[in-house]
Amino acid sequence: MSSGIFQQHQDRAAIDAEFHSRPPLDIDFSEAQVWCWALQEIEGSSGTWSEEFNPAERHQIIQRNDGIIRFERHTEFVSITYVGQTAPASEILDLIRSAPARQLSGIKITLSQKSNVDMATQFPEQRLFGGGTFFDGVVVTTSFRNSDGLVPYYVTGGFDDGFGRGRLVKRLIDLEIYRSISLLALPVVRMASDSLRELEGRAEAAVLDLSIVTREDLGGAIDSLAIILAEVGSLQSKTRYRIAASNAYYNIVRSRLDSLGEVPIGQRQTLGGFIEHRLAPAMETIQAFDRRLEQTSLTVRSAMELARTQLDQMSQAQNQKLLSSMEHRTRQQVHLSQAVEGLSVAAISYYGIGLVSYVLKGLPDFTISDSLLVTLSVPVIITLSFILTRRARRRVLDLTVQNRTERD
């Protein structure tokens, strides 16, 4: 019966397994050889992995009579590590060499419990680096020189157990592998630097042109900025993953250096001193490229927003001018309409008064003279003419508005 009182998250087992998936090897040999290759699988290669390896597995241990082979799958590469009391036999080397992959990095670690090993013999005519570690009396030495695809390290001193020896070995393997692959972005950045420099120049020129561009040219300026932004985005998509991966690997390198707890020996430069002195400037170059690329993108986006704002302001000014012109014409039309209306009232009144005069002439004589009756009818006729004219005008306006509404 399960002791848990809650239903477990569906990913918890996988998360717990990840913490224990790559434990340090328990190296019980006081004198040992550890060789490790970091390999990048070749896509589309006709080669296949040896049947002793299971590429579908993320972690695999192969026990052999002459040593242990450890297979690990990482995000971008696979690593194959050999651990034995002596150098790997030709059979093991042939087995590893048959992998359908190219080598990214590699390390060869010699472990000896002796503390008086002559390093000048192990690394003839080479400058040495290294120092003490978090294990008391254990010293790490290397030349950082590639020898047949593997960088040699020499570890001297005693360990309390094989697990402690395996912990140090794992730190050194991670340090060497990630030290190398963290710089995979450097060639990419160097190749893309000319393109970025060109885009920066075009972006700067486009921003300066916005201060003098006319409204007719603003549309073309926005199109040019859009093209630059698209090219910047394309460059970002080509370099983003590689730069992000390099930053992550660099953080691993620094973490492994801190965990070594190095203690300087005499005037010899430590592993951390050598790596930081060479790796930090290269990583700064990579990170500076990324910052410049992001800044160029922000500059172009800001310029496009500014251009659109200018275009909107010009359009609003033009619309306002058009509205003012329309309002002026409307007022003129109103004044003209009012003048025509006045003339219409006068004309209608004139003909109305004339009609009344003719009518009165045909009627018998009244006590009041015809001229007085005509005079009295003038205000009435003018008022009726004004009312009829205004009503007719209002009706025409109502019909016009109704027709516009139906069309809309």
Beta-ladder partners of 325: none
Query: Closest Cα to residue 235, out of 165, 273, 203, 188?
Result: 188
Q: Predicted confidence band at 362 (pLDDT cuts at 50, 70, 90)? A: low
Residue 140 pLDDT > 90, yes or no?
yes
More confident residue, 2 or 15: 15
Average pLDDT, stretch 278-303? 94
Residue 286 pLDDT > 90, yes or no?
yes
Average pLDDT, stretch 80-99? 92
Highest mean pLDDT among 56-60, 67-71, 368-372: 67-71
Domain ranges, ordered by start, for the chain:
15-181, 185-319
More confident residue, 338 or 80: 80
Query: Closest Cα to residue 139, out of 270, 275, 277?
Result: 270
CA distance 14 to 18: 6
More confident residue, 118 or 354: 118
- Reported pTM: 0.74
CA distance 259 to 177: 16
Average pLDDT, stretch 135-159? 92
Mean pLDDT is lowest, of 19-23, 149-153, 200-204, 279-283, for 19-23
CB 150 within 8 A of CB 108: yes
CB 327 within 8 A of CB 238: no
* 9-47 pLDDT, tens digit each: 888 888 887 777 778 888 988 899 999 999 998 886 656
Average pLDDT, stretch 58-85? 91
Per-residue confidence (pLDDT) for residue 238, from 0 to 100: 94
Beta-ladder partners of 70: 61, 81
More confident residue, 180 or 118: 180
Render 91-150 in DSSP notation, one character per residue: HHHHHHHTSSEEEEEEEEEEEES-S---HHHHSTT---EEEE-SSTT-EEEE----BTTB
CA distance 281 to 285: 6
Query: Closest Cα to residue 309, out of 218, 378, 385?
Result: 218
Half-sphere exposure of residue 345: CA atoms within 13 angstroms, side-chain side: 20
Residue 275 pLDDT > 60, yes or no?
yes
Query: Closest Cα to residue 380, out of 357, 353, 340?
Result: 353
| Rg (the chain; Cα; Å) | 46
Average pLDDT, stretch 287-294? 96
Per-residue confidence (pLDDT) for residue 172, from 0 to 100: 96
CA distance 208 to 7: 62
Helices (H) and strands (E) in the chain — how many of each? 8, 8
Per-residue confidence (pLDDT) for residue 1, from 0 to 100: 46
CB 307 within 8 A of CB 222: yes
CA distance 140 to 138: 7
Per-residue confidence (pLDDT) for residue 316, from 0 to 100: 76
